[in-house]
Copies of this chain bind each other. A is one copy, B any other.
Amino acid sequence: MKEPLRIGLAGLGTVGGGVVEILDRHRELLAARCGRPLVLAGVSARHRDRHRKLKIGKAEWYDNPVKMAADPGIDVVVEVIGGEDGIAKTIAETALQSGKSLVTANKALIAHHGTRLARMAEKNGVALRFEAAVAGGVPIIKSLREGLVANQLVEVYGILNGTCNYILTQMEMTGRDFNDVLAEAQELGYAEADPSFDIDGIDTAHKLAILASVSFGVEVNFAGVHIEGLRHISAEDIAYAHELGYRIKLLGITRFGAEGIEQRVHPCMVEIDTPVAHVEGAFNAIVAQGDAVERTVFEGPGAGRGPTASAVVADIVDIGRGDLSPAFSVPAKSLKPCETYPMAERRGANYVRLLVVDEPGVIAKVAAALRDANVSIESIIQRGQAEGDLVSMVMITHEAREGNMIQALEKIGRLKTVVEPPTMIRIVTF
């Protein structure tokens, strides 16, 4: 058996603690599988006292994780602190520049600096790995990078944020409204006190930008992701979706096309026989479509101590086995710029819900605005009274150019008889 692999772990929170547990519990199993012992050689965290229960063995304690990242006694640095900049970034750069491989669970870091870090890793002859950054326990990065390596991938999409999916599932099951379910999710610990990263789609966008890069051999382009969150989805929308044979899911979607890479995060109406339609609660699911493999689906827990630590340790084992191949499938210098396909050029059907004053001529005005933008209506539902003389008006459009659709909705939103901003949910068919 080869020399031990000496691990330096920066961060002892939920994920870091899980990594320590797995390294301890499966010491022998991991050594047999990796072909060499995995030794926790160093740890660092903000508060030394908090982690007395963790079996860190003979690992050296570092007050300064950057010092650990530079220490010649460490072979691979594991960063599970989080945050796109600050200490996490400094640790990552220090590790790579010191000739150590880096394993991270930090999606923000990779979404913002992935290409640059990959170049740095390759320049120093070490590996950069981030399986835990996307979909927790699901080995999706490995599956795209290695399992489906023989494919030109054409489309990758999925449910990438458990909090959003939990909220949508609860809304669907209970008929309750968004804010109500969010408050409960926060109480139960399924949503953060500041939930905006999750519910505004930013976390999903971080992961999507990473998936796009791995799948299509382009630079990570988080800034090029079109992002919409969940806040505008109402119980009424959920009920209408159900009635129309759809489910609402917050999806990240990326597609490879001659005119650019589509990267978008937004609530979608999906048909109930779509693979992602049945994924419930905090689970994640990713669908990959390749030119040889057709459609493959990967599903599992997207977060949590065990699943995320499982992914981190898998990356460590790969490095221990000697895999130093490029982080994003091809060498970082060969990654192409990620030219984003403009969202306005998307063509698709849409669900639109308006709250309107129930008076003669309102349908005519709305219909005229759509017609002027070259959007045709497939069906309209208008019934029941919301409050006073207000009613909901729900429309499904035929396939239309998104730019035209937005233009029409702006016009409709300015109508006096339309009393709140229109809700539009894209109907997505796979």
By a beta-carbon cutoff of 8 Å, the part of chain A in contact with chain B is: 18, 22, 25-26, 29-30, 32-35, 131, 137-139, 142-143, 146-152, 217, 275, 278, 290-301, 304, 306-307, 309-314, 317-318, 321-323, 325-326, 329-331, 334
Contact = CB atoms under 8 A, between A and B. Distances in A.
Nearest to A322: B322
Contact of A306 (B149, B293, B317): B293
A290 B310 contact: yes
B278 A293 contact: no
Contact of A148 (B295, B314, B329): B314
B314 A294 contact: no
Contact of A314 (B22, B35, B146, B295): B146
B321 A150 contact: no
A30 B299 CA distance: 27
Given A26-B152, A150-B30, A35 B325 contact: yes
Contacts of A137: 148, 292-294, 296
Nearest to A151: B310
Nearest to A34: B149
A305 B294 CA distance: 11
Given A147-B314, A310-B148, A138 B296 contact: yes
A33 B330 contact: yes
A32 B313 contact: no
A325 B321 contact: yes
A300 B296 contact: yes
Given A22-B150, A295-B300, 10 more contacts: A30-B149, A35-B325, A35-B331, A139-B147, A143-B143, A290-B310, A293-B300, A294-B307, A296-B300, A323-B323
A411 to B, nearest CB: 42
A159 to B, nearest CB: 13
A139 B150 CA distance: 12
12 contacts: A137-B293, A139-B143, A139-B146, A142-B142, A143-B143, A149-B314, A290-B310, A291-B306, A293-B301, A294-B307, A321-B323, A323-B323
Contacts of A314: 146-150
Contact of A297 (B150, B292, B297, B326): B297
